[in-house]
Amino acid sequence: MPVPLAYLAVVLIWSTTPLGIVWSSSSVSPTLAVLLRMLIALVLGAIIILLTKINLPWHRQARKLYYSSSIGIVGGMLLSYLAARYISSGMMSLMFGLTPIFSGLLAQKFLAEPKFSGIKKLALALCFVGLAIVCSDHIKLHQDSWIGLLLILTAVMFFSLSAVMVKSISLTIHPMATTVGALSVSTPIFLLAWWLFDGQLNVEHWQVKSIWAIIYLGIFGSLIGFLAYFHILQKLAASTVALITLLTPVLAMTLGAWLNNETITLKLIIGASCIMTGLAIYQFGDKWLKSNSV
């Protein structure tokens, strides 16, 4: 898959995934919705592996890669589905926009990357100001939304940790192998989560919109999305991959308002602007200062 096409696919899929999560779990329990999504992706991925005879290694280094990838899949996805009952799809996407900040903090510990410069500390402060504005506004509108915000921020932490750990592993294998390997590790955990927290099918309550959302997320959100993500993670710098988080929140909030009648308040716009500006400064601030000092 060409890198530009994979990059565009990730942007589009990540922009539509939050709304898909909200729709899929509207009539299907969150743990079952995410389990069905991962099962679809795993079965299709395994079929592709068999038909194309892609090598799926299971040596120690490969297993380490799959386990590291599964941290983001299980922690990020399971908590996101649980959060969907309390917050909007646009809010979910905006919170995931903070991934580069969390990844940068974690990379200092796990990858021995240098501490934040002054401009990055400014970006961090601006993001947290925006986060405070957004959270206060959402909690004011929906009293239980603090539960969803706590869940989604924890999901972002898991996703960021996973990305940093994957980047620390020196192993280049086919992105489809990484995807199927990670799904093979993750899916049994989703099955266990469904059995422990729900254990019921309740098929009679399923709505057509939820079913189609699960199918879409299984094929595109998981299989193609993970395939494209792992591909660009191997080929591009982490900072370039992180730029996706500058694009997806705006698209996701627009889709949420257009297709799901989600409310966009003035405070949300102000808070989101602070976060997006902070992310832009985080990504480009040091380069801009360096170029202007020459």
Instruction: Tell me: pLDDT of 236 over 70.
Output: yes
pLDDT at 247 over 90: no
**Locate tokens 């999504």: which residue?**
37
Number of CB atoms found within 10 A of residue 186's CB:
27
Residue 239's pLDDT band (cuts 50, 70, 90): low
Q: Give the DSSP per-residue string, 190-236.
A: HHHHHHHHT----GGG--HHHHHHHHHIIIIIIIIHHHHHHHHHHHS
Grouping H, G, I as helix, E, B as strand and the rest as coil, residue 186 is helix
- Model confidence at 52: pLDDT above 60: yes
Q: Pull the structure tokens for residue 202.
A: 């309740």
What is the spatial distance between Cα 114 and Cα 101, in angstroms, rounded to a whole number? 14
Mean pLDDT of 218-231: 86
Inter-residue contact 76 to 155 (CB < 8 Å) = yes
Percent of the chain with pLDDT over 70: 97
Whether the predicted pLDDT of 242 surpasses 70: no
Residue 227 pLDDT class (50, 70, 90 cuts): confident
- Could you tell me the residue ranges of all domains in the chain? 3-293
Alpha helices by DSSP H, listed for 55-117, are 60-71, 77-83, 89-96, 99-110
Q: How many residues does the chain have?
A: 294
User: In percent, how much of the chain has pLDDT > 90?
Assistant: 47
With beta carbons less than 8 A apart as the criterion, state whether 239 and 283 touch. Answer: yes
pLDDT at 281 over 90: no
Q: Give one word for 161, left, alpha or beta, with left for phi > 0 and alpha for psi -120 to 50.
A: alpha
Q: What mean pLDDT do residues 102-116 have?
A: 84
| Residue 86 φ then ψ, to 5° | -120, -25
Structure tokens at 245: 């988080």
Q: What is the mean pLDDT of residues 46-50?
A: 94
Structure tokens at 94: 């905006």
61: pLDDT strictly greater than 60 = yes
Provide the pLDDT for residue 105. 87
pTM (two decimals): 0.88
14, HSE (Cβ side, Cα atoms, 13 Å): 27
User: Token pair 């400014």 is at which residue?
Assistant: 122
Residue 163 one-letter amino acid: A
Q: What is the pLDDT of residue 187?
A: 95
At 109, the pLDDT band (50, 70, 90 cuts) reads confident
Cα distance between residue 74 and residue 195, in whole Å: 15
Residue type, position 160, single letter: S
Tokens of 107: 């990379």
Decide if pLDDT at 294 tops 60.
no
Helical pair 99-110 and 266-293, crossing angle rounded to 10 deg: 50
Say which residue, 219 or 234, is predicted with more confidence: 219
10 Å Cβ neighbour count for 41? 27
Q: Is 137:265 a contact under the CB 8 Å cutoff?
A: yes
Residue 238's pLDDT band (cuts 50, 70, 90): low
Distance of CA 70 to the CA centre of its chain: 12
Calculate the dihedral angle through the C-alpha atoms of 93, 18, 260, 32, rounding to the nearest 10 degrees.
Answer: -150
Distance CA 293, CA 32 (A): 55
Decide if pLDDT at 246 tops 60: yes
Looking at every residue in the chain, the average pLDDT score rounds to: 88
pLDDT at position 188 is 96
Q: What does the pLDDT read at residue 42?
A: 94
